[in-house]
A and B are shown apart, each in its own frame.
Chain A
């Protein structure tokens, strides 16, 4: 019988993650993107297995070939839609409106239902391939329902300039959580409509105050009011971190799995610290990278005695440096992604995992296995549209 309280430990390391992300990134580039199904699967295996509720790691059992297959299935359908749609939109936006902006906008609006659809299907695939203690998670079908609800709730949030975003977040989470299973046990997302508004307070206050400051500066023509931004900008940054932590806490603590409950206490300052340190390190590495690159170019061209006037030499130099620059571009791109995984995504995952506990779990062992969700399309649509989870 398991203990009533299970803490979650985290066993991932920044170094191994950096190396894994870099390695899989290089292979992806070398295979013209073909390896990306393997890359994503391997990163997920790592991220999942690092989270250990009660000492037993989560397991991601997704198969790269299955993902490739799902992608091919999606391409068969999406190619028609995207090819014909883009062409028609381009035509109509120039024929009727004489501009391409309308085409891009309409193309996005036309894709929105499919994007939300794809996100839900991707979530279903990921949950169906996640296990803990040998028991599968799962998500009931319902992608179109999620899609139209998302559009309605997003529109509401847009109309209210984002003020009702906490409501949108909670509603959509209720839809998703209410269809999520662990084994044969369904999750319930509790909480009344107002649950998340408090989590947004440190965003509301500085935005309101900035608005007042800006209006006063405009009316009184006294730029001293702009000094208010010195206060509100850092406040807003804190507010975003606070929202991240507090909305997670409130939604997690209102989730139910049978009699099982959850407790979570992520800290806004830790989140800010992770981002600050991560960005600082990334900037440091990227600046160093450019210094080395410039140094390399100096060496390559011997003397660097170009005056502004000697453009021929500059052009010459640019041509011979092209291979170096292409390599630098790939290096920068891959390095950036790998560093973001190692220094931002992973520490954040660690913090949220370690800040969360499972309580009232004494009857956990009664939860029974659910059937495998065969899902031929996997995350194909999300993969094709680039809207899947970042990992």
Chain B
């Protein structure tokens, strides 16, 4: 008559975890704990504080119990009244007992982070820089061709044919004339191919193997031919320094590692893209500054004022603003204020600069995508990305 609690007793299945043997046991909830009476007459007492239920069990009408200090023994309860009685007594049924020490977890987490950081920020960029120097020009061209087609397809809103390449002969001839006048050939391992894509984006970029791509939006935005020439000189700077090739090789390495990290959960692609953007940005800011410096020298040699580059940036800043704060870390380019100042500092005050294209050529270049000039009003859209 030791127990004061009103008792609901019953039977359950019990395994002790030594042999694959199931015992039918009689359960007696007491104030100290759950009394388990074995068929052979012996008894076990499970203190309530140590009784745990197994989570996420498929059969809601059953209760499977274990003990925090004995990982093997299990009780399988089916009797609803008995289950209710046990649930009323056992105070820590849902407590989780950690099996992995937190310190061990932290050590390996540190190791994983260190390993990934070393690879993404040291090893892969170092190797990419070395390999980009020795990649044969044909290989570089193939890499550029593959990327070019991917970009055309990705930007095409219809998704069928790829963004059209503007093929007006006079316009392309003007672009070629601009390139000839800048005359960077001595710095380059191969010829440069320049394309204008019929797209609103105010942007231009260089691809591996000497492909330079302008979007129509950038030419529409420019007010003088010199501004376009400044952008061209900047992109030639990237080609000369093999930046696109290095970027492509580095992405191949670091995307694989980042994919490893994030796994295949929904939205993994978005996270992957952002993380890769962050990694790339930290490298390309230096590359952009170098390309700017190259452009200043090239423009100066061709008798064009380096401040044209700054003028283009000012136009963009007036329209889109500058990236500050957090966003700036995701941007692949240095802040525009600094770049405008640099381009103005490169201007030689003692000389007069000429112009890059004749008026006729400039008009032709502006119409490279549309035979009839003065295209429709620009839709104000937020997708537009600021030009490099």
Contacts and interface: CB of A to CB of B under 8 A. Distances in A.
Given A84-B123, A87-B128, A132 B265 contact: no
A32 B22 CA distance: 43
B186 interface: no
Given A50-B58, A87-B252, A134 B73 contact: yes
Contacts of A59: 54, 64, 74
A90 B100 contact: no
Contacts of B71: 61
B56 A42 contact: yes
A133 B265 contact: no
Contact of A134 (B17, B127, B136): B17
A91 B249 contact: yes
A11 interface: yes
Given A84-B124, A87-B131, A133 B58 contact: no
B173 interface: no
Contact of A11 (B59, B143, B261): B59
Interface stretch (A68-76, A245-253, A286-294): A68-76
Interface string A4-28: 0000000111001000100001001
Contacts, number: 218
B388 to A, nearest CB: 23
B379 interface: yes
Nearest to B104: A69
A191 B143 CA distance: 52
Interface string A46-60: 110110101111010
Interface residues of A, number: 80
Given A28-B265, A57-B58, A98 B142 contact: yes
B220 to A, nearest CB: 16
A366 B19 contact: yes
Interface in A86-132: 86-91, 94-96, 98-100, 103, 132
Contacts of B99: 63, 65-66
Contacts of A73: 108, 112
Contacts of A337: 266
A97 B64 CA distance: 61
A83 B59 contact: no
Contacts of A315: 379, 381, 383
A72 B19 contact: no
Contacts of B119: 79-80, 83-84
B19 A369 contact: yes
A333 B58 contact: no
Given A42-B56, A49-B56, A86-B253, A2 B105 contact: no
Contact of A84 (B19, B127, B260): B127
A372 to B, nearest CB: 8
A82 interface: yes
Contacts of B148: none
B97 to A, nearest CB: 9
Contact of B17 (A88, A96, A369): A369
13 contacts: A49-B54, A57-B57, A59-B74, A69-B104, A72-B112, A76-B112, A79-B257, A84-B253, A87-B252, A95-B139, A134-B15, A315-B381, A367-B20
Interface of A: 2, 11-13, 16, 20, 25, 28-29, 32-33, 36, 42, 45-47, 49-50, 52, 54-57, 59, 61, 63, 65-66, 68-69, 72-73, 75-76, 78-80, 82-91, 94-96, 98-100, 103, 132-135, 182-183, 311-312, 315-316, 319, 329-330, 333-334, 337, 364-369, 383-386
Given A82-B260, A135-B19, A315-B381, 5 more contacts: A49-B56, A66-B100, A83-B119, A99-B142, A316-B381
